[in-house]
Amino acid sequence: MFKGLGGLGNLGEIANLMKEAGKIKERFEALKCDLGNRVCEGAAGGGMVKAKVNGRQEIMSIEIDSEVFCGGDKALVQDLVIAACNAALDNSKEMMKQELAKITGGLNLDIPGIM
**Which of the two residues, 108 and 100, has the higher pLDDT score?**
100
pTM of model > 0.75: no
Question: Which residue, 83, 99, 100, 89, is CA-closest to 41?
Answer: 89
User: Which tens digits make up the pLDDT trace of 38-58?
Assistant: 999 999 999 999 999 999 899
Would you kindly state where each structural domain of the chain is located, as residue ranges?
10-104
Q: Within a 10 A sphere around the Cβ of 95, how many other Cβ atoms?
A: 15
Fold of the 10-104 domain? Ybab; Chain: A; (3.30.1310)
pLDDT in tens, 5-26: 455 567 777 777 777 777 778 8
- pLDDT of 115 > 70? The answer is no
